[in-house]
Structure 1
Amino acid sequence: MIAAGAACATARAQAAGTPPAEPTDGSLCKGGHRMILRVHYEDTDFSGIAQHTSYLRFLERARSNYLRLHGISQGAMFSGQDAMLVVRSLTLQFLLPARMDDLLQVTTRPHLVRGASVALHQQIRCGDRVLLEAEVRVAYVAEGRPGPLPPPLRAALLRDAAVPPPVARPSPGFATGQTRQPSPNPATGHFAMRFAVASQNFRTVTGHAGKTRRFLVFEATTGLPPQEVERFDLPKDQSIHAFRGDGPHPLDSVGVVIAASAGDGFIRRMAARGVVAVATAETDPALAVSGYLAGTLSPEAPHEHDDAEEACGCAQG
């Protein structure tokens, strides 16, 4: 604690010196983002201690910069698509105070990526002292309604969430293990995400996701090619087109469904269950999963629904 206090004191003493050699927006790091900032007079109260509202600005700035470095401009998102990322929930643990001229490091790590939202763990440190821990859930809203996260953004978040978090030293006032972390595959110990690929023939990516009853299930583990781990052969009443009610469904166990075609109704129903649905022209199931994770998945091939398909509700998922 003496060394940590000295580090903060040194930072304050050097406030008039050269700022740290960090990009304005911070930098991407393994599993997330880090940003350096200094506590200014405007951030503090009469005693020189940072006000609690200042931490909210620090955290918001870090989240925005994290997205920007992943190629997501929130300003462009709103002006071009009438879409935005909004905070749905926020939990803060104030542990130690930050003082004027302190040099702080803010880290941001996604740890639970759902279809339309992401849970982030954020931390503010001064030297080796943890000042604040935050759990933030951010949701994607388009035209005033919840919607699936844009595929390139979700792929980037999934890649970061799959990186095991660093071993954290317990901080005063914050229980170890309180932060929800990604779960490892019990068989391999690696962190993995699950995908369901529509495949009526169990060989290629097939279309009409809403009426599909057969899916190849893959696990994608950091640094390894996706592996098929399971197959769904659902009864007719378990196709999403026929499924009714809010009860559990086998597709709830995956984070992403990939098909050759998917109607708006299917996409909406999957998003409501916390699952992203995407359509692609890629025909190889494993390559489709790899392409999604890399953000290079080929878009759905142009096609037309015939009258019979429209009548059966295929176009509505």
Structure 2
Amino acid sequence: MTDLTLPTEFVFDIRVYYEDTDAGGVVFYANYLKFFERARTEWLRALGFDQSHMADRLQRIFVVAGLNMDYRKPARLDDLLTIRSRVTRLGRASVHFAQRAERRSELLAEGNIQVCCVDTIQMRPAELPPGVRASLQSIQE
């Protein structure tokens, strides 16, 4: 039997496009949230979970319930950013993530994001699907 250990950190690279920048030529602050969202989505996909499937078949979606962000240095057009994500807390219906945006290992922005699982019909908190919970528990620090 092989011991399969999943990495506790997910790494996702993303290129800065013109549409991501503001009039000053730097990444608009809110776009870091989009980059972080994409990284979380791709992490779930890498674990074998498709969010549209979860919404259609399980009536579960994820919504951001809270966050805090710190911006350190600007990213610019054509920069290749690395988004690093890790689970810091797993609740019954929520997942807390620590995420960082880096350029060649230089910290640009970091945040803590709380994501809640909700029922698509009542839009109320709902338990994480068992498979998602098991996968996230196996990678949590």
Scaled by the length of structure 1, what TM-score is found?
0.41
**Hey, what does 1:95 align to over in structure 2?**
72
Secondary structure at the counterpart of residue 37 of structure 2: helix
How many pairs does the alignment contain? Answer: 134
Kindly indicate whether the alpha-carbon contact (under 8 Å) linking 2:94 and 2:114 is maintained by their aligned counterparts in 1: yes
2:39 to 62, 67, 84: 62
Report deviation, 1:32: 2.6
- Displacement, 1:61? 0.6
1:81 to 50, 58, 77: 58
- Report deviation, 1:68: 1.0
Structure 1 gap ranges (5+) = 1-28, 163-317
Max radius of gyration: which structure?
1
1:46 is displaced (CA, Å) by 2.0
Task: Give the Cα–Cα distance (whole angstroms) in 1 for the partners of residues 57 and 138 of structure 2.
Answer: 26
Question: Match of 1:148?
Answer: 127
Give 2:39's aligned amino acid.
Answer: A
**Alpha-carbon offset, residue 47 of structure 1:** 2.1
Counterpart contact for 1:113–1:119, Cα < 8 Å: yes
Aligned partners of 2:34 and 2:59: how far apart in 1? 23
Cα distance in structure 2, aligned partners of 1:56 and 1:155: 26
Aligned positions of 1:211-250 closer than 5 A: none
Cα deviation, 1:178-202, whole Å, max 9, x if unaligned, reads xxxxxxxxxxxxxxxxxxxxxxxxx
Equivalent positions of 1:259-298 (< 5 A) are none
Q: Is the CA contact (8 Å cut-off) linking 1:32 and 1:66 kept in structure 2?
A: no
What is the deviation of 1:31?
Answer: 0.2
2:60·2:126 contact (CA, 8 Å) conserved in 1?
A: no
Taking only aligned residues, the RMSD between alpha carbons, in angstroms, comes to: 1.2
Cα deviation per residue 1:1-27 (whole Å; 9 max; x = unaligned)? xxxxxxxxxxxxxxxxxxxxxxxxxxx
Aligned residue identity for 1:87: V
Aligned-pair CA distance for 1:140: 0.8
* CA apart distance, 1:152: 1.3
Matches within 5 A, 1:91-240: 91-142=68-119, 143=121, 144-162=123-141
Of Structure 1 and Structure 2, which has the larger fraction of its residues in strand? 2
Partners of 1:122 and 1:134 within 8 A in 2: yes
Residue 65 of structure 1, CA deviation: 0.6
C-alpha distance in 1 between matches for 2:84 and 2:56? 28
